[in-house]
A and B are shown apart, each in its own frame.
Chain A
Amino acid sequence: MLEPIRQVTGRAVYVPGDDIDTDRITPARYLKVVTFDGLGEALFYDERFNPDGSEKPHPLNDPRFKGARIMLVGANFGCGSSREHSPQAIYRAGFRALIGQSFAEIFFGNATTLSLACVSAAKEDILALAQAIAQDPSLEVTVDVERLEVRYRDRSFPVNLPPTAQKALVEGRWDPIADLLEAGELIDQAAARLAKAVRS
């Protein structure tokens, strides 16, 4: 059994913009690696740094948001390539939950498998929270995966998560390998029945 992810609590940072693609989250040159170690540094690299290495204004460069565990994002976050390097980089940079309007499908699956909770919420609610953290970067935010709500101060708003992902996180089944291996013979039966490409 893996660690159940019932809720994520911590400080939050808002990274605005819709259709943020995986090339922006982790530029392709950071994919020339044979492990995922150290990818946290690649996170949003070209958005955060100029070609000469100097910093650009970016929420993740803002010292007030250092150590945030929750990222607020826009719509269709993580579109583009299937590179798991993107959620890996987000996870390795210390994030444990994302609150966005919507997520691209492959990204969402990859993130969930790493126990990175991606909950979706209404734009107004995200913007209100973004405003609250802009005023008080030390604000403690809770993403409640079990009750499907986000809480901060005396406020809360509902979030969505497909039931399969919610179950996987809350029951500590976010990495499916153990469940998949259990199928045992059923797999062999399918393999015997289903076509394969053979050179003849």
Chain B
Amino acid sequence: MGKSLYEKVWESHAIRTLPNGQTQLFIDTHLIHEVTSPQAFGMLRDLGLKVRYPERTFATVDHIVPTHSLLEPFEDPQADEMIRQLRKNVQEFGITFFDVTSGQQGIVHVIGPEQGITQPGMTIACGDSHTSTHGAFGAIAFGIGTTQVRDVLATQTMAVSKLKVRRINVNGKLQPGVYAKDVILHIIRTLGVNGGLGYAYEYGGSVFERFSMEERMTVCNMSIEGGARIGYVNPDQTTFDYLKGRPYAPKGAAWDEAVARWKALASDPDAHYDDVVNIQGEDIPPTVTWGINPGQGCAISDRVPDPAQYPEAQRASLEEALAHMKLRPGQPIKGVKVNVAFLGSCTNGRLSDFREAAKYLKGRKVAPGVRAIAVPGSQQVAKACEEEGIADIFREAGFEWRGAGCSMCLAMNPDRLVGDELCASSSNRNFKGRQGSPLGRTVLMSPVMVVAAAITGEISDAREVFGVGERVGA
């Protein structure tokens, strides 16, 4: 019986069994940001410890950065204190930092791949649950808590228990107007928000084989929304083509060696999986959420559920979600009024997302009364969008074109919902209060659907709005 990539990477990185039975796993690459690292550095100092391999840690600032102006000090004194702390910590411990002045700053899960820091077969850790994103490269990437950030800083290892592996095949073809975002929303809806507990998700099948790296990242990103801490795709030619020539990717002879090593890491054809799920690409509709967790979704053509038609045990949570979302039982999701449109985040804030959205936005206008914000995932994405004229398309349409950061994905900077505003969002979480207002409402969808919502002022089927034909990409 062959081995999965997860198994192979685990074996090569396991250092020893700890007294409680967990494995001490070596972490090749550690990514940090301003929100979950300051306390870890504090703990390190309290214990009198150093950063063991500073060259294996990379820092960025993303959650709290204002996207309208980088003038310092930041208007928000707490945010300002956080960036100062980070600067102090990286300087004291000798860590590479993609600061706001570097031209390379951005959301940690956007810049890791962009810089070529994320590589196949690596173990990667970051104090952020969407670290699963890096699995798109065939890395085993863990979201960790702050005490574990301390562990990785101090020892470049952490204590972990081995997961089971579920292979998720998506075969066939996606219909026009269906995107990677729809694929993962569909998977979460099918398997449930806690369906992935105890599992690493290995995504494969012909849809994933045709997907670009950025599409793979969108899916792996939201593994955690399905309860799976880890999600990955086996490395292939698409992976290597993406990485080649990036600043931190191996060069020359080292590149060829690396590619040979990476190829051997992919799951064996007869690999053992603890579970296998098969999904047909043709069955996946453009998907939007209607509730307060990412599994509460439906096809754009569907109606939101009517709790009365569900078993007693499920009603309370459906009713809570509908009440928060201010939706009537059984009403069509299409046509719900939108106040805000947000395009960005580590799920859908990459160049291909803006390119695809701009194709349809070009020459159109944001509906009156809708506040539309486009936030590139990194300064490099922002730069490319300027160069390609994409930023102008957004501006001319009436979007606010912002600087790089997490922004309204979680509203730790000044970008946030007000009152019970409803936001069509390309981000990953629709939890109550997620976008900065306790009463705020979030509807998750693909970037093209966000643009459709922005210009119509309501949740819309992008295929109808734009007459979407053959989709670009996979």
Task: Count residues on chain A whose CB falls below 8 Å from chain B CBs.
Answer: 61
Are the CB atoms of A183 and B431 closer together than 8 Å?
A: no
Are the CB atoms of B433 and A24 closer together than 8 Å?
A: yes
Are the CB atoms of A82 and B127 closer together than 8 Å?
A: yes
Does residue B175 face the partner (Cβ distance < 8 Å to A)?
no
- Which residues of chain A come closer than 8 Å to B368, judged between CB atoms? none
Are the CB atoms of B194 and A76 closer together than 8 Å?
A: yes
Are the CB atoms of B13 and A177 closer together than 8 Å?
A: no
Does residue B21 face the partner (Cβ distance < 8 Å to A)?
yes
Name which residue of chain A comes closest to B321, CB basis. A19
Bound-state CA distance A2–B120 (Å) is 38
Are the CB atoms of A46 and B433 closer together than 8 Å?
A: yes
Q: Chain A interface mostly helix, strand, loop or mixed?
A: loop
Are the CB atoms of B47 and A177 closer together than 8 Å?
A: yes
Does residue A63 face the partner (Cβ distance < 8 Å to B)?
no
Does residue B293 face the partner (Cβ distance < 8 Å to A)?
yes
Are the CB atoms of A179 and B159 closer together than 8 Å?
A: yes
Does residue B280 face the partner (Cβ distance < 8 Å to A)?
no
8 A Cβ contacts from B423-448 to A: 429, 431-434, 436, 438-439
Bound-state CA distance A57–B459 (Å) is 33
Of the candidate stretches A28-36, A131-139, A140-148, A150-158, the one touching chain B is A28-36
- Which residues of chain A come closer than 8 Å to B16, judged between CB atoms? 183, 186
Are the CB atoms of A199 and B128 closer together than 8 Å?
A: no
Does residue A168 face the partner (Cβ distance < 8 Å to B)?
yes
- Which residues of chain B come closer than 8 Å to A187, judged between CB atoms? 15, 26, 52, 155-157
Does residue B121 face the partner (Cβ distance < 8 Å to A)?
yes
The answer to whether A36 and B39 touch (CB under 8 A), given A163-B21, A175-B147, is yes
Min CB distance A84 to B, Å, is 4
Q: Which of A21, A46, A183, A197 contacts B248 (CB 8 A)?
A: A197
The answer to whether A28 and B194 touch (CB under 8 A), given A21-B293, A180-B151, is no
- Which residues of chain A come closer than 8 Å to B161, judged between CB atoms? 162, 164
Min CB distance A91 to B, Å, is 12
Are the CB atoms of B197 and A28 closer together than 8 Å?
A: no
Are the CB atoms of A24 and B412 closer together than 8 Å?
A: no
- Which residues of chain A come closer than 8 Å to B22, judged between CB atoms? 164, 168, 176
- Which residues of chain B come closer than 8 Å to A168, judged between CB atoms? 20, 22
Q: Which of A79, A104, A180, A196 contacts B56 (CB 8 A)?
A: A196
Min CB distance B224 to A, Å, is 8
Are the CB atoms of B28 and A34 closer together than 8 Å?
A: no
Bound-state CA distance A140–B146 (Å) is 33
Bound-state CA distance A21–B428 (Å) is 13
Q: Beta-carbon contacts of A160-179 to B below 8 Å, as 1s and 0s?
A: 00111101100101011101
Does residue B38 face the partner (Cβ distance < 8 Å to A)?
yes
- Which residues of chain B come closer than 8 Å to A162, judged between CB atoms? 161
Min CB distance A189 to B, Å, is 8
Are the CB atoms of A82 and B128 closer together than 8 Å?
A: yes
8 A Cβ contacts from B245-299 to A: 247-251, 258, 261, 293
Which of A24, A110, A190, A197 is the most central at the interface, judged by chain B CB atoms within 10 Å of its CB? A197
Are the CB atoms of B433 and A19 closer together than 8 Å?
A: no
- Which residues of chain B come closer than 8 Å to A179, judged between CB atoms? 18-20, 24, 159
Residues in chain A within 8 A of chain B (CB atoms): 17-19, 21, 23-24, 27-29, 31-36, 46, 51, 75-76, 79-85, 87, 102, 104-106, 109-110, 113-114, 162-165, 167-168, 171, 173, 175-177, 179-181, 183, 186-187, 190-191, 194-200
Sampled A-B contacts (9; CB under 8 Å): A36-B39, A79-B227, A80-B224, A102-B194, A105-B198, A179-B19, A179-B159, A195-B258, A197-B122
